[in-house]
Amino acid sequence: MNEPRFLPVVPTDHPPACAASLVHDFTPELISVGAHQLCPGCGEPMAIRAVAEAVAELGLTRSCIAVFGIGCSTAFSNNLDIEVVQALHGRAPSVATGITRMRPDVTALTVQGDGDMVNEGLQEVLHAAARGERITCFMLNNGVFGETGGQMTATTVLGQRTKNSPEGRDARHHGHPIRLADLVATLDGAVYVARGAVDTAVNVQRTKRMVLKALQAQKRGFALVEVLTMCPTGWAVDTTRSARYMADHHARIHSMGVLKDTGGGRSR
Amino acid sequence: MSAGTLVIDTEACKGCELCVDACPPAVLVMTTDRVNARGYRHPELLPGCIACKACTAICPDFVFQVYRYHPSEEDTR
Ligand SMILES: Cc1ncc(C[n+]2csc(CCOP(=O)(O)OP(=O)(O)O)c2C)c(N)n1
Ligand code: SF4
Ligand code: SF4
Ligand code: SF4
Ligand SMILES: [Mg+2]
């Protein structure tokens, strides 16, 4: 029996038979095909995709080492067609420092969450930035310890809820959030610092340009791109409302944009 | 009528609906009567795709392949 069809649905189970160009393929070149286990509506895969695409576009695939922190995005560490080193919680900038100091020909990048970078390893990233290490750090900022079940982090903004703080952050009890990119931008060793987001398709494109710039800036010194990502599970917010929730809470305090771009050879 | 079209890997979809909100001409709709093997509803395409790649930029699960019709084909779709 044929089911009733009310909408003129276009067949999408095979490529078009007529003349057409493929303008975007499913999975980026450097990510292995197959389902990953991150939650529905998670923002982290889009950020990882931007990094993987940028590495491929800059021709760095065989000369790049990614150092992963601990968090949900770590699921991608054995899913990427580039060399990956797994660091202890928060220590990725120090591991990346060791890599570029021993192998200046290598592009060293880190992928860390906000809990990893700002709670567990704040001093690692600040000192690496101050020293002007030639590394590029990517921080996926969802304002929550996603992997361990939704606890508040140092970047959770006032009023933003997480699973174990359903009333939202309250300054009287929990203090105030840290704006990591703003902090790093004040350090002289940092040459490129930006904050992107993946809540809209336009912001994903903007973030991709920041990622490209940050990888290129590495020749001059320390670079950081913070990417605001949705965590519908950790915020206990429906996937269809999580992008809006992020724009209304997290992104209000952690504002998007390029915070620093020295553009020249100021730092060592 | 459409400048492009998609291939949708419905089995990879986790039903988050981010693509539906992202599509400028609103030509993606979620199924209401079918789910994939993991139990998720997934998007279907209506005529009018402009091949803008917004759906594939926002999709966390790499579900889309986007095609742009060659100009000669455009008028007829
Ligand atoms: C030294 C140490 N302390 C605590 C943990 C437990 N732990 C694993 S993931 C995680 C939170 C990660 O949060 P975040 O960096 O924000 O990443 P997300 O899961 O949100 O992507 C914690 C605390 C650990 N693995 N190692
Ligand atoms: S808990 Fe949050 S960050 Fe982790 S996979 Fe789920 S949505 Fe993503
Ligand atoms: S390519 Fe653009 S117009 Fe076509 S379905 Fe995707 S978002 Fe909609
Ligand atoms: S954005 Fe991707 S995973 Fe989410 S509903 Fe659309 S196709 Fe499915
Ligand atoms: Mg986090």
Position A268 scores a pLDDT of 37
Query: How many domains are contained in chain A?
Result: 1
Contact in structure between A224 and A184 (CB atoms under 8 Å): yes
**How far does the centroid of ligand 1 lie from the alpha carbon of residue A90, in Å?**
9
CATH number at residue B60: 3.30.70.3270
Cβ–ligand 3 contact at B13 (below 6 Å):
no
Domain with residue A163: its CATH number is 3.40.50.970
As for how many domains chain B has, the answer is 1
Task: Provide the percentage of residues in chain B whose pLDDT is more than 70.
Answer: 94
Residues in the 5 Å CB sphere of ion ligand 5: A 113-115, 142, 146
Distances (CA, A) of B52 to A52, B24, B48: 21, 8, 11
Say yes or no for a CB contact (<8 Å) between A200 and B64. Answer: no
Name the helix (H) or strand (E) containing A88. none
* Percent of the residues in chain A that have a pLDDT greater than 90, as a whole number: 89
Q: Is A227 left (phi over 0), alpha (psi -120 to 50) or beta?
A: beta
Domain that holds residue B24: 4-74
* Residue A100 belongs to a domain: yes
Task: Looking at the CA of A232, name the nearest ligand.
Answer: 2
Chain A residue closest to B19 (CA)? A201
Neighboring chain A residues of B65 at a CB cutoff of 8 Å: 15, 22, 24-26
**Pick from A157, A255, A252, A144: which is nearest to A206 by CA?**
A255
Averaged confidence pLDDT in chain B: 93
CA dist A3 and A8 (Å) reads 13
Is the C-beta atom of A237 inside 6 A of ligand 2? Answer: no
pLDDT tens over chain A, length 268 residues: 555 557 899 999 999 999 999 998 888 889 987 778 999 999 999 999 999 999 999 999 999 999 999 999 999 998 899 999 999 999 999 999 999 999 999 999 999 999 999 999 999 999 999 999 999 999 999 999 999 999 999 999 999 999 999 999 999 999 999 999 999 999 999 999 999 999 999 999 999 999 999 999 999 999 999 999 999 999 999 999 999 999 999 999 999 999 999 985 443 3
B51 touches chain A (CB under 8 A): yes
